[in-house]
Structures are given as C-alpha cells and as structure tokens.
C-alpha cells in the first residue's frame, strides 16, 4: 500500500465505519486493529480481547484478520465462531475479569454498503473518547504484517441462557405466544428465534437466508424497513412481531394488528415490566430528545429521571451510578445495567414477550391502556442540510439564541445543554441541535397533537433560517 495515499481514518462515537467501495479495506481493518493492539497491550499486557462479527460482506474474514493483528501484541484473542450480536460479545467480555475490551465487525443499522469496527470496554460498554483519540493517533500509514494465534469459540450459549433466565419461563410456556421474528438479515438471525422456541413460543422467522445485500432493506427496525414484519404478523395471525437491527443492540415491537409500536410507547412498557414485574427501582436515564411519555411513566412508577445530551456514551456515563435501572435513547435503544452496560435488543424482545404472556392481553390493548394513563404525545424530527460554513456559523451563534416565544407559545424553560431546547407547560418541547459529525441541523419536537408538534417544528426551522 502506498503510504502517500493511505486513508486518513477518523473514528466516530464508538469506532470506525466506511463503505466497502471506498475505504473499508483489508489494509484499513489491519491498521485499526494494529493501533488497538498497541494501545490495549501497552496498558494491559497479556489481557484478553473478544472479537465478534455480523453477517456483512467478508465480516468473518475481517474478524479473523483483526484478531491475528491483535494477537501479535501478546493479547489473548478470542473470536466468535459464527455471526453474533454485539450485546453477546459485550456481555461475554464484561464477565471475564481478564478482558480489557472487545472489537465487533459490524455497521449496525447501516445499509449493506457499509462495514464497521465497533469498540467496547472491559464492562461491555462504550470506551471513552480519550481512548478512541489515542487509538486514532496510533494508526500507522501502512498495515502491519505481524500476526498471532487466536482462538475461535462459541460466544452464544451462555449469553442466550442468561437472557432466558431474565424472564418468566413458566408464564411464557403456558401462554405459548405466536411470534414473528425479523432479525433483518443481521447478527440476531437464528439466535432470537432459538431462545424464544426454547421458552415455548411458536416462532415464525423471516429474513433468515444469507443475503449480502440484505434483500434491499436497511437493517433498521423502523418503517419502511419494518413493513415485511408487520405484514407477516397479520398473515400468520401472530400475537406480536419482534425486530432487531443489524447487530441486535436495538429492537422494535409490532402489535397483533401489524402496527409498529413507537419508542414513546415501547420504552414505558419495558420500564413498567422492570419495575412491576422484576422489582427494579431507581433512576431512568434518557437523552434530551426522548419522549416526555418516558418521564411521565417513570414518575408514575416512583422513579426519578435524569436527562443527558444526545449520545449513548453520555447515557452510559450517567448509568455508572449504581441507582440507574434503565438507560434509553430516543429511537428505542434500551440498556438495563443489571444485565449489561450496553443496549441489548435481544433482552428487550424477551421482556416484551414476557409482558404479553403475564398480562393475558394483546399488545395493542396494553399499549392503549398505557396511553390512557400517561397520555399520547406526537413526536417527529426534521433535518436541515446546510453548507458546511453556514452550519458552523449557526453553531457559533446558537448559544446566544433565547427565543421569547415559538409558534405563539411561551417557553417555561430554555436550555442550551445540547443545542437549544425549549420546554412548555404541557410537556411539549422543541430541540434545535446541530450534528457533531455533519453539516445538518436536527430539529425535534413533541406535543399533545400532530398540528401542535408541526407548528413547533416549523417555528424552530424558521428560527434556524433567520439565525443564518
């Protein structure tokens, strides 16, 4: 590889991602593994590193390549013998006192054109930004030729057993629900269906055959990519449908009518199960972009809520306090720290099945009853794409913006903790937040009705344009 033409590799919040037709190459995988091996071995000589991979193009080969490079630094490297969810690798790493971290070859919910290397710490959670900065600065211009020996082993059996132990096996076996499982051609394929079948469910699994193109869908459990699962639930007269994203750290649920539950409903339902079904009690950590419905349900259940700026790394840091029972992102990523300091869509799916079995009600009935108690909110986001210079100019003036009203409404609180967030007295809110990685300004809003929400979105977008 010509060092003069070596790609400059920049990490995002949890690793590195790139297109297969661009810079995701064997050489660059080796360069990053080389830098990771150097940093891990310098700090923890002889420590163990776990390596996993999803179902993407050449993921197993890339995992073995990375493992050989890591092992050349004297690290004990253990590689999954099959595609496996990121939470499975993280869970295994967290339970090994000799482990320093994990590396997963995955691009999560991104389309089939992308590959990625996701890095996890010794507790299975995200690594600090300082660590990734050190690794990034240690990336060499040319890939190393050094290789070491590593072990390939099963990372799934103990993990799946631990998941099954979380839920009420007797209730699930007695109810024998019919479940459609859609792992979206991703790393959860076969695994979720296996544990559900073992628990006594009647399982219909779709999107199971190996497809490097993911059948034209993105492995992202939301519409329109969830259409096939929604249709399959109705066609098979199933009790619910379960979707996982590409590396199974995020999940969605479809009710018996074939309707995808929004995160503002699913997250409070899972919280209710943890508190009332599992006796959990403590704080719920949310991002500032999460629905007000989560805070309402937490308050009803006697739980405090702490909101942090966008990004799971921030949720993770807050959850390190011992009293946190759940951490969530606005798009449905749910972390239960008693299980793992990382999001786990597989666990969320089992908790949803447990709720169904114990209640004896349909998913739509449970959702309707919850909304009758905590109310319904309408949530949406708009992205404003700007010229890079214009985006930076707006970022510079944003801390000084303090609107006295938006859409004819007076805020009761204005915060600049993560962009600009205006809160109103009926739990409505709007957030203007420039992206940290692209020239996009994201505008979020939530209100008791769709017209009120749209008015807030439009007013906030106008504020951005006027600010320019």
* C-alpha distance from residue 414 to each of 22, 306, 406, 460, 462 (Å): 42, 17, 11, 13, 17
pLDDT higher than 70, residue 53: yes
* Span 362-393, pLDDT tens digits: 999 999 999 999 999 999 999 999 888 888 88
- Give the H/E segment covering residue 442: strand 440-447
Instruction: Inform me whether the pLDDT recorded for 140 exceeds 80.
Output: yes
Q: Which of 80-84, 359-363, 404-408 is predicted with the least confidence, judged by mean pLDDT?
A: 404-408
Pairing of strands 324-328, 334-335: antiparallel
Helices (H), 301-344: 312-319
* Structure confidence at residue 402 (pLDDT): 86
Note the pLDDT tens digit of each residue in 120-138.
Answer: 999 999 999 999 999 999 9
Q: What is the pLDDT of residue 468?
A: 55
Instruction: Find out whether the peptide bond into 224 is cis, omega within 30 degrees of 0.
Output: yes
Question: Could you tell me the CA-to-CA distances from 345 to 41, 220, 331, 351 in Å, in that order?
Answer: 31, 12, 12, 10
Average pLDDT estimate for 319-325: 91
pTM greater than 0.85: yes
Token reading at 242: 């379960």
Least reliable range by pLDDT among 302-311, 374-383, 405-414, 433-442:
433-442
> What dihedral do alpha carbons 447, 448, 453, 455 form, nearest 10°?
-110
Instruction: Please check the confidence at residue 3 and state whether its pLDDT lies above 60.
Output: no
pLDDT band at 410 (very low <50, low <70, confident <90, very high): very high
Residues 6 or more apart whose CB falls under 8 angstroms from that of 4 comprise none
Task: Report percent pLDDT > 70 for the chain.
Answer: 99
pLDDT score at 2:
46
pLDDT of 467 reads 63
* Rounded distance between C-alpha atoms, residue 423 and residue 92, angstroms: 41
pLDDT band at 1; cut points 50, 70, 90: very low
Determine which of 115-119, 275-279, 362-366, 415-419 has the lowest per-residue pLDDT on average. Answer: 415-419
pLDDT value of residue 393: 83
What pLDDT score does 47 carry?
Answer: 98
What value does the mean pLDDT of the chain take? 95
The pLDDT value given to residue 392? 83
**pLDDT exceeds cutoff 90 at 31:** yes
Place of tokens 């940290």: 436
Report pLDDT for 7.
87
CA 449 – CA 456 distance, rounded (Å): 11
Residue 253, beta-bridge partner list? 242
Mean pLDDT of 310-324: 92
Residue-level pLDDT at 5:
67
């Amino acid at each position: 590889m010509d060092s003069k033409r070596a790609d400059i590799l920049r990490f995002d919040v949890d690793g590195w991602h790139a297109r297969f037709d661009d810079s995701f190459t064997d050489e660059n995988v080796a360069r990053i593994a080389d830098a990771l091996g150097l940093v891990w071995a310098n700090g923890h000589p002889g420590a163990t590193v776990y390596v996993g991979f999803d179902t993407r193009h050449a993921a197993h080969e890339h995992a073995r390549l990375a493992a050989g490079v890591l092992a050349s630094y004297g690290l004990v490297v253990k590689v999954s013998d099959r595609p496996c969810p990121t939470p499975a690798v993280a869970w295994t790493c967290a339970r090994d006192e000799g482990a320093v971290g994990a590396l997963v070859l995955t691009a999560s919910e991104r389309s089939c054109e992308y590959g990625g290397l996701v890095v996890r710490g010794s507790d299975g959670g995200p690594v600090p930004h300082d660590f990734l900065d050190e690794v990034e600065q240690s990336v060499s211009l040319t890939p190393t030729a050094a290789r070491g020996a590593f072990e390939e082993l099963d990372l799934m059996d103990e993990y799946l057993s631990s998941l099954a132990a979380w839920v009420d096996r007797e209730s699930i076996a007695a109810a024998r629900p019919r479940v459609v499982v859609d792992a979206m051609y991703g790393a959860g394929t076969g695994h979720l269906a296996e544990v559900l079948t073992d628990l006594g469910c009647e399982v219909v699994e779709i999107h199971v055959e190996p497809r490097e193109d993911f059948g034209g869908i993105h492995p992202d459990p939301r519409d329109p990519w969830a259409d096939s699962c929604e249709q399959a639930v109705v066609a098979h007269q199933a009790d619910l449908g379960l979707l996982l994203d590409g590396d199974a750290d995020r999940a969605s649920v479809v009710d018996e009518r074939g309707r995808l539950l929004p995160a503002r409903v699913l997250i409070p339902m899972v919280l209710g199960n943890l508190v009332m079904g599992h006796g959990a009690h403590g704080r719920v950590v949310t991002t500032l972009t999460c629905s007000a419905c989560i805070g309402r349900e937490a308050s009803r259940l006697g739980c405090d809520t702490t909101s942090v700026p966008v990004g799971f790394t921030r949720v993770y840091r807050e959850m390190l306090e011992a009293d946190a029972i759940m951490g969530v992102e606005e798009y449905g990523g749910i972390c239960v720290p008693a299980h793992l300091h990382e999001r786990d869509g597989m666990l969320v799916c089992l908790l949803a099945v447990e709720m169904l079995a114990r209640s004896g009600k349909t998913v739509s009935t449970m959702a309707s009853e919850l909304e009758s108690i905590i109310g319904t909110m309408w949530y949406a986001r708009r992205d404003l794409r700007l010229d890079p210079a214009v985006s930076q100019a707006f970022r510079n003036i944003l801390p000084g913006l303090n609107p006295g009203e938006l859409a004819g409404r007076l805020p009761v609180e204005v915060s600049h903790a993560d962009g600009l967030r205006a809160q109103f007295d009926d739990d409505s809110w709007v957030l203007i937040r420039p992206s940290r990685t692209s020239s996009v300004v994201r505008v979020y809003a939530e209100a008791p009705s769709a017209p009120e929400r749209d008015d807030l979105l439009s007013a906030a977008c106008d504020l951005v344009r006027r600010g320019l």
